[in-house]
């Protein structure tokens, strides 16, 4: 069979699914990459874990598992694949390596970072611990492994409140997202010592924007990520992790919805929720968008972008992630 026919045979069913959000002219470019990546995955016993912010051709075309940060970390600990390719950002690949230290973990672009993760170092955490002796440190999963190694327990936006409450203490150091810290503080009586990190994507949303959307779209449901400014969250109908937001739409099937988060989320789930009208003012994550199909293929072919960490960091950091996983959502 000719190569073109094989590509068509192995990818047409994917396009049937995503044709509403990916124009045919773009699909012609994506399909050969999807075909090659999916074949190579089998040959190499590799798995592709993709964050919910990946573009539809990655999310629906090559990902074996797509989810929020928490579920990606848990899935990385369970996989029997030899290679884990993280279609996401650097801290997610590091977290996968912590959870599967014997596996080869690769990232298609080592510059896919995160403004929250880069806002704090291990040294900063050590200084905070000196300043507040005995106060437990909870770090958002959007942190480097060296920060996790200084952390008592990690959390994600899906379980931040639960994790902080589970410690049973009066005061907690919560890093590095200042808005998420405020959100947690609003849901508990615990004193929260925060850090001034922000997500460059969610920080761009404003209450004014939410109010305007509501005025122009009566009955709309507005759902926000907890990394948004507190007044945006307050003006929304629901706040939750990326998977929490997806579940909200799936369970509630609102007539019209706006997801106050990264752009690809609405595109990815519009396909599975054809009766929901998505209003799409959104902001793009420049880091997530560094991951593309050509880079995934190159990374898988040459096994480049390997996450390498020393054993001590891995072992110390893993404890904080395992504690989080044990507490769960």
The residue ranges that bind ligand 13P (CB under 6 A) are 52, 68-69, 142, 156-157, 199, 225, 227, 241-242
Min. distance of Cβ 202 from ligand SF4 in angstroms?
6
Judged by beta carbon distances under 5 to 8 A according to partner kind, the member of ligand 13P, ligand SF4, none in contact with residue 69 is ligand 13P
What are the CA-CA distances from residue 67 to residues 35, 92, 243, 245 (Å)?
A: 22, 11, 6, 11
Min. distance of Cβ 208 from ligand 13P in angstroms?
22
Instruction: Annotate 172-209 with DSSP letters as a single string.
Output: EEEESBHHHHHHHHHHSSSEEE---B--TTGGG--HHH
Judged by beta carbon distances under 5 to 8 A according to partner kind, the member of ligand SF4, ligand 13P, none in contact with residue 287 is ligand SF4
* Torsion sign, CA atoms 22, 52, 30, 13: negative
Q: Which of 160, 199, 228, 309 binds ligand SF4 (CB under 6 A)?
A: 199
Min. distance of Cβ 123 from ligand 13P in angstroms?
23
What are the CA-CA distances from residue 144 to residues 14, 118, 153, 301, 326 (Å)?
A: 35, 8, 14, 26, 20
Question: Which residue's CB is nearer to ligand 13P, number 52 or number 139?
Answer: 52
Sheet of strand 238-239, all strands in order from the earlier edge strand to the far edge: 238-239, 221-224, 256-260, 277-279
Question: Which residue's CB is nearer to ligand SF4, number 81 or number 285?
Answer: 285
Enumerate residues 85-114 that contact ligand SF4 by CB under 6 A.
89, 114
Sheet of strand 191-193, all strands in order from the earlier edge strand to the far edge: 153-155, 137-140, 171-175, 191-193
Contact call for residue 200 and ligand SF4 (CB under 6 A): yes
Judged by beta carbon distances under 5 to 8 A according to partner kind, the member of ligand SF4, ligand 13P, none in contact with residue 156 is ligand 13P
SS3 170: coil
By CB under 6 A, the count of residues binding ligand SF4 is 13
Give the residues across from 48 on adjacent strands. 85
Q: Interface with ligand SF4 by CB under 6 A: which residues?
A: 89, 114-116, 142, 199-201, 227, 262, 285, 287-288
């Amino acid at each position: 069979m000719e190569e073109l026919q094989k590509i068509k045979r192995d990818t047409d069913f994917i396009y049937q699914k995503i044709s509403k959000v990916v124009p045919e002219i773009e699909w012609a470019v994506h399909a050969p990459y999807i075909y090659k990546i999916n074949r190579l995955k089998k040959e190499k016993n590799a798995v592709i874990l993709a964050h919910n912010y990946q573009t539809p051709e990655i999310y629906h075309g090559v990902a074996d598992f797509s989810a929020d940060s928490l579920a990606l970390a848990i899935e990385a600990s369970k996989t029997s694949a030899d290679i884990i390719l993280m279609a996401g950002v650097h801290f997610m690949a590091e977290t996968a390596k912590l959870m599967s230290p014997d596996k080869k973990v690769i990232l298609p672009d080592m510059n896919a970072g995160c403004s929250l993760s880069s806002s704090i170092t291990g040294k900063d955490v050590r200084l905070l611990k000196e300043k507040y002796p005995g106060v437990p440190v909870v770090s958002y999963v959007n942190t480097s492994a060296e920060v996790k190694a200084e952390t008592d327990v990690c959390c994600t936006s899906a379980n931040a409140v639960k994790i902080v409450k589970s410690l049973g203490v009066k005061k907690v150091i919560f890093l590095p997202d200042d808005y998420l810290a405020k959100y947690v503080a609003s849901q508990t009586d615990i004193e929260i010592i925060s850090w001034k990190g922000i997500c460059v994507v969610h920080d761009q949303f404003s209450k004014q924007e939410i109010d305007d959307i509501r005025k122009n779209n009566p009955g709309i449901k507005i759902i926000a990520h907890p990394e948004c400014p507190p007044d945006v969250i307050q003006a929304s109908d629901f706040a939750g992790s990326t998977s929490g937001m997806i579940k909200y739409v799936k369970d509630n099937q609102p007539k019209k919805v706006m997801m106050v988060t990264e752009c690809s989320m609405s595109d990815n789930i519009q396909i599975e929720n054809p009766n929901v009208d998505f209003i799409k003012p959104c902001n793009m994550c420049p880091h997530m968008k560094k991951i593309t199909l050509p880079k995934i293929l190159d990374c898988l072919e040459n096994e480049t972008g390997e996450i390498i960490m020393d054993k001590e960091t891995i072992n110390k950091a893993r404890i904080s992630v395992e504690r989080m996983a044990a507490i769960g959502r």
